[in-house]
Structure 1
């Protein structure tokens, strides 16, 4: 996966996760980051609902 702008390094992700009680190594943190980048890339904001009555 290629992302132009990766704002969070693997090392930073390990630190953030460990502060929240989640112990991961760099390989696991990389997988987590790739998943989060993929989810954010494919996230589609909810569209405005149209009502039947004005």
Structure 2
């Protein structure tokens, strides 16, 4: 999986998860980050609703 911009390093993910009581190694953190990047890539932005005024 290749993303152009990866803003969160694996090390930072490990630190952030450990602050929240989740102990993971670098391999597990990398998998979690890849999943999150994949979800964000495939997430459709909400369509703007047009409001009609009478």
TM-score under structure 1 length normalisation: 0.84
**Distance in 1 between the 2:44 and 2:29 partners?**
25
- My pick for the range that moved more, 38-47 or 5-14, is 38-47
CA RMSD across the alignment: 1.7
**Distance in 2 between the 1:52 and 1:4 partners?**
39
Secondary structure of 2:12 counterpart: helix
Q: Report the equivalent of 2:41.
A: 41
Corresponding pairs, count? 54
Q: Report the equivalent of 2:28.
A: 28
- My pick for the range that moved more, 14-23 or 42-51, is 42-51
Unaligned 5+ segments in structure 2 are none
Measure how far apart 1:25 and its partner are: 0.2
Unaligned 5+ segments in structure 1 are none
TM-score under structure 2 length normalisation: 0.84
